[in-house]
Structure 1
Amino acid sequence: MDLLSFVAVPALAYLVMAALVAVDAVVPAIPGEVAVISSGALAAAGHLNVAWAIVAATLGALAGDLAVHGMSRKALPGALERYRLGRRLKTRITEAHERMGSTSAAAIIAARFIPLGRTTMSAAAGVAGIPPRRFAVIAFAAGLIWSSWAVGLGYVTGSVTDAPLWLQVAIGAAVGVLVGVWAGAAHTIVRTRRRMTERARAAEAAEVDEPSPSRPVELVA
């Protein structure tokens, strides 16, 4: 059965795409993003509906993220507690989450566009103890934004070129990878600058708090 014959039953196509996106959270090798971009290209050709493709991708992303968060929240912390390195890792994750504070939602959403960021951030949120309800709201927003971007990317690629479907998907996937790499590099730069700023402030505070050496008392003859 070729791809066009498969999408002749749109409901089945949406279900399969949602499943691929969900499993992609646990097994990143699954081409979930490629499937979503493909749905956009197929929508441009009139075989699928853009809105339903976004809905399916969003629900699949939410299901996968919740699965990783749930496993990390229940099983991973106990496993980390068994080893010294694991305990250090858990402490660092918790401290990082506390430093993020109100920006943790933005970090989780941004990680959705970084290669392997989705899985890593969902696991970190679980280990850090973010409540499932709060994480579900953030994951839903992240999935909706990402799904709209990926489906839209495939739709635009399919609309502006008459290339074969596989080439449209390849172009869209390449653009998606480039954007993800750029987002990851930008995130690393911002994080590095933030750490350098925090260290500089800590050093300045240490210098201010350091008591000045007492001056010797001069005896007047």
Structure 2
Amino acid sequence: MGSAALLTSSWFCVLAVLAVLGDAFLPFLPSGTLVILAVLKTERIAGAPLILAGAVALSSFLGDVALLALARRGAPFLRRRLAKRPKLATSVRKVQHSLDGRTNRTAAAVVIVARFVPGGRTVLDLAIGHSPAPSHRFLRWSALAALVWAGYIVTLGWLNSHWFNTTWLSLAVSCAAATSISAAVARLVRRHRRLAAALPVDPA
């Protein structure tokens, strides 16, 4: 790989890592797409997928830490955001309620699943940040979720880069697969909530 191509690949990796860091605050950022594109651009570099996965996982975790810290401190722009978006505030309250009294294993599953739901990471970070419960357990789960998601999205791009001969087709198939998986997870979460709401309340 020439120096120009290597420089271009490096810039794609930097953009991908920054997008993953920022989508905790701005969930509309195409972080998954950029990570897949970075994988495709660095496929000929030995060890690149592992390095990129590590950088993405670290960036994802640091984004959670930053948003959680701001929520804990009651950052004014976060208060305004919740005040202007009642649906977001409602989602935050629902997540807080769903985490109350959960076992470590179940709560960890909630944190991991939230990584795969569009906007779920932001809602989860805000919910934990506005909760009186200590955040040290959440940070462990967040680190695990970051590793799982980074491994998943990088592997998805890497597999498609070897199955298809062209970058654009690999990118299209990878993004379509990632979108389908996220949509499927979101449907399962909504279905679980409906079933939980339909269950009778134990008077005891």
Whether TM-score is above 0.5 comes out as: yes
Larger radius of gyration: 1
Cα deviations across residues 97-130 of structure 1 (Å, max 9, x unaligned)?
2143432221011110111111111111111234
Could you tell me how far apart the structure 1 residues matched to 2:110 and 2:148 are? Answer: 13
Structure 1 residues without counterparts, runs of 5 or longer? 207-221
Q: Which residue of 1 aligns with 2:50?
A: 51
Q: SS in structure 1 opposite 2:165?
A: coil
Q: Which residue of 2 aligns with 1:216?
A: none
Structure 2 residues without counterparts, runs of 5 or longer? none
Superposed displacement of residue 58, structure 1: 0.4
Query: Contact (CA 8 Å) 2:9, 2:42: kept in 1 or not?
Result: no
1:42 partner letter: K
Query: Contact (CA 8 Å) 1:109, 1:138: kept in 2 or not?
Result: yes
2:194 partner letter: T
Superposed displacement of residue 195, structure 1: 2.2
Q: Which residue of 1 aligns with 2:122?
A: 119
Scaled by the length of structure 1, the TM-score of the pair is 0.75
How many aligned residue pairs are there?
Answer: 194
Cα deviations across residues 23-66 of structure 1 (Å, max 9, x unaligned)?
11111222211121123323434477111010110011011111
Change (3 A) 1:44 1:71: same
Q: CA RMSD in A?
A: 3.0
Q: SS in structure 1 opposite 2:179?
A: helix
Could you tell me how far apart the structure 2 residues matched to 1:50 and 1:92 are? Answer: 36
Change (3 A) 1:43 1:12: closer
2:97 is the counterpart of 1:98: no
Q: Which residue of 1 aligns with 2:32?
A: 33
Query: Contact (CA 8 Å) 1:42, 1:158: kept in 2 or not?
Result: no
Q: Which residue of 2 aligns with 1:172?
A: 174
Equivalent runs, 1:127-206 vs 2, <5 Å: 127-163=130-166, 165-197=167-199, 200-202=200-202, 205=203
Change (3 A) 1:130 1:158: farther
Query: Contact (CA 8 Å) 2:116, 2:185: kept in 1 or not?
Result: yes
Query: Contact (CA 8 Å) 2:157, 2:170: kept in 1 or not?
Result: yes
Q: SS in structure 2 opposite 1:44?
A: coil
Could you tell me how far apart the structure 1 residues matched to 2:45 and 2:151 are? Answer: 17
Q: SS in structure 1 opposite 2:23?
A: helix
- 138-147 vs 169-178, which deviates more? 169-178
- 145-154 vs 28-37, which deviates more? 28-37
